[in-house]
Homo-oligomer: A and B are copies of this chain.
Amino acid sequence: MLSVGIIGSTGYGGQELVRLLHQHPNVEKIALTSKSYAGHPYSSVYKSFYKIVDVHCQPEDMQQLAEDVDVIFLALPHGLAAEKVTPDVLEQAKVIDLGADFRLKDAAIYEQWYGLAHPRASLLAKAVYGLPEFFKTDIQNARLIGNPGCYPTASILSTAPLVKEGLIDPATLIIDAKSGVSGAGRTLSLDLHFDEVHGSFKAYKIASHRHTPEIEQGLGLIGHLGVNTPNISFTPHLVPMNRGILTTGYAQLIQKISAKEILALYEKTYISQPFVRVLPEGASPETRWVKGSNYCDIGITVDERTNRVIAVAAIDNLVKGAAGQGIQNMNLISGLPETTGLEQLPVFPA
């Protein structure tokens, strides 16, 4: 049985961890910490947990937590997580960072996109990018996991086979991504005020979103292209709904190939991956079919007129895009079956 701690348990990602860990058959203890809500019952922060998780939030004490638990989840803004992870901590506990601090391998790229020097650059070499579908063995042997971003999870899973098999010109890859609002977190902002979002749609951070280099790195590693190739264009959009990400990827095919052939390749790639569902020809993912679950649905279309492939993926941004994938990683580093505690079916309509 595992004991687990969460630093930053009161954000949307944190509370999704609590929901899933509470139902996990191999987790016997969950320590919840919070800077803003220390001393308050967890169920006063999220009333869904009333009479279920009424324990009080503890102050954020990383050192103490490392002594007390087997696995620590960090659900903090970038910069703040890396500070807390020391070689000492890593000797005592395994760490899974849901934030951005241990995803990029290159401290210079981190600094360029995140605008600060990496607080623990020396640990980057030890950190493993926690995308189990492609880096499972590394994850199983790791003590420090950089849990993938929500957009990169869908973007990489839906296009990696194209890059890996050399089917597309990686210089032509464009990812047009759309996310529900929970991806932006619980911190107040006029942009997330109900009336400003409901009934509206927009693009944001065009050509400047921090998930861009993470997608490039992931595809580069999987496709043996080097960390910074291909150079993609990535545009996120905000959808007036709570949960769900859909990514639409476009790339020029190098030679003629049918959707059926590409799908066969995807099926082969993901045959042993329990959470990737490659849809049959003609079907296209929708976020409603994965909500509340750890699935990533993928659909492929070939635009024969332009010889482009269009690869679409749908995930629940808080599950496969954050907490669920984090638990998938926890299972792997703990020697448990990957799917343990993650068998929840999608909830529809929700």
| A197, closest chain B residue (CB) | B194
| A191, closest chain B residue (CB) | B194
Whether the Cβ atoms of B306 and A201 lie closer than 8 Å is no
Contacts of A310 in B (CB 8 A): 203, 206-207, 233, 235
Contacts of A308 in B (CB 8 A): 174, 207, 233
Whether the Cβ atoms of B194 and A246 lie closer than 8 Å is no
Contacts of A346 in B (CB 8 A): 19, 48
Whether the Cβ atoms of B306 and A232 lie closer than 8 Å is yes
Per-residue contact bits, chain A 170-200, to B (CB 8 Å; 1 contact, 0 not) = 0110101010111000101110111111111
Whether the Cβ atoms of B178 and A348 lie closer than 8 Å is no
Whether the Cβ atoms of A240 and B243 lie closer than 8 Å is no
Q: State which of A126-134, A143-151, A288-296 sits at the interface with chain B.
A: A288-296
Contact residues, A266-318 vs B (CB, 8 A): 277, 279, 283-293, 297, 301-306, 308, 310, 312, 314
Give the CA-CA distance A196 to B198 in the complex, in Å: 12
CB distance from A278 to the nearest CB of B (A): 9
Whether the Cβ atoms of B301 and A207 lie closer than 8 Å is yes
Residue A239 lies at the interface, judged by CB distance under 8 Å to chain B: yes
Whether the Cβ atoms of B292 and A350 lie closer than 8 Å is yes
Contacts of A335 in B (CB 8 A): none
Contact partner of A199 (CB less than 8 A), chosen from B291, B302, B314, is B291
Whether the Cβ atoms of A193 and B195 lie closer than 8 Å is no
Q: A231-B306, A240-B240, A349-B12 are in contact. Are A287 and B202 (CB under 8 A)?
A: yes
Whether the Cβ atoms of B50 and A277 lie closer than 8 Å is yes
Give the CA-CA distance A164 to B110 in the complex, in Å: 39
Contacts of A292 in B (CB 8 A): 292, 347, 350
CB distance from A108 to the nearest CB of B (A): 15
Chain A interfacial residues counted at CB < 8 A? 85
Whether the Cβ atoms of A47 and B207 lie closer than 8 Å is no
CB distance from A18 to the nearest CB of B (A): 9
Residue A343 lies at the interface, judged by CB distance under 8 Å to chain B: yes
Q: A233-B250, A344-B344 are in contact. Are A196 and B288 (CB under 8 A)?
A: yes
| A244, closest chain B residue (CB) | B201
| A279, closest chain B residue (CB) | B50
Whether the Cβ atoms of A181 and B207 lie closer than 8 Å is no
Whether the Cβ atoms of A289 and B199 lie closer than 8 Å is no
Residue A51 lies at the interface, judged by CB distance under 8 Å to chain B: yes
Q: A46-B348, A50-B277, A349-B198 are in contact. Are A241 and B240 (CB under 8 A)?
A: yes
List 18 contacting pairs A-B, 8 Å CB cutoff, sorted by A. A46-B289, A47-B286, A48-B289, A48-B293, A50-B279, A181-B194, A186-B190, A186-B193, A188-B190, A198-B241, A199-B199, A200-B286, A202-B314, A203-B284, A203-B312, A207-B304, A207-B306, A231-B305
Interfacial residues, chain A to chain B (CB-CB below 8 A): 12, 15, 19, 22-23, 46-52, 171-172, 174, 176, 178, 180-182, 186, 188-190, 192-204, 206-207, 231-233, 235, 237, 239-244, 246, 248, 250, 277, 279, 283-293, 297, 301-306, 308, 310, 312, 314, 343-350
